[in-house]
Amino acid sequence: MRLLPREIETFWTLFTGPAIWAGHFLICYASAAIFCAKPALLGMEFNSLRLGIAFVTVVALVAIALSAFLAWRQWGFGAHDPPHDDPTRHDRLLFQGFATLLLAGLSFVAVLMTALPVIFVSECLR
């Protein structure tokens, strides 16, 4: 039995990577905004916020990597080259796999970039 179906017959898997980026971005923004606006509320240090963001980042990266792997598998692990323009279900799936893989790559980079500031910035700095 497979944990995840081999070919997910839907349009929406395409957006997995960017959706994870969006969730990660929102969490980073909202947690930092609330932390800086209401320091007393959470009662924690900025370093805890950094750790929290680091943790969320790792989770997001793992999730993107997982979706990238599934997409890579759907793309036949690179056995077929683009352009994937045959009028067949097979080529449509390859196209979806490849496009999803590319988007996962972009999302991976974007998540890393979003998390980059917490390495250098050590306070709210308002």
Site of interaction with other proteins (CB under 8 A):
9-11, 14-15, 18-19, 21-22, 25, 28-29, 32-34, 36-38, 81-85, 87, 89, 91-92, 94-96, 98-99, 102-103, 105-107, 109-110, 112-114, 116-126
Give whichever of 3 and 9 is closer to other proteins, judged by the CB atom: 9
Nearest approach in angstroms of CB 42 to other proteins is: 12
**Cα distances (Å, whole numbers) of residue 33 to 50, 93, 111, 126:** 13, 41, 18, 11
Tokens linked to 21: 């980026």
The number of beta carbons lying within 10 Å of the beta carbon of residue 69 is 14
Residue 111, exposed/middle/buried by CB under 10 A (0-12, 13-18, 19+)?
buried
Q: Which is nearer to other proteins, 4 or 7 (CB)?
A: 7
CB of 64 to other proteins, least distance (A): 13
Q: Smallest gap, in angstroms, from Cβ of residue 38 to other proteins?
A: 6
* Measured distance CA(111)–CA(105) in Å, rounded: 10
Provide the minimum distance between the beta carbon of 77 and other proteins in the complex, in angstroms, as a whole number.
16
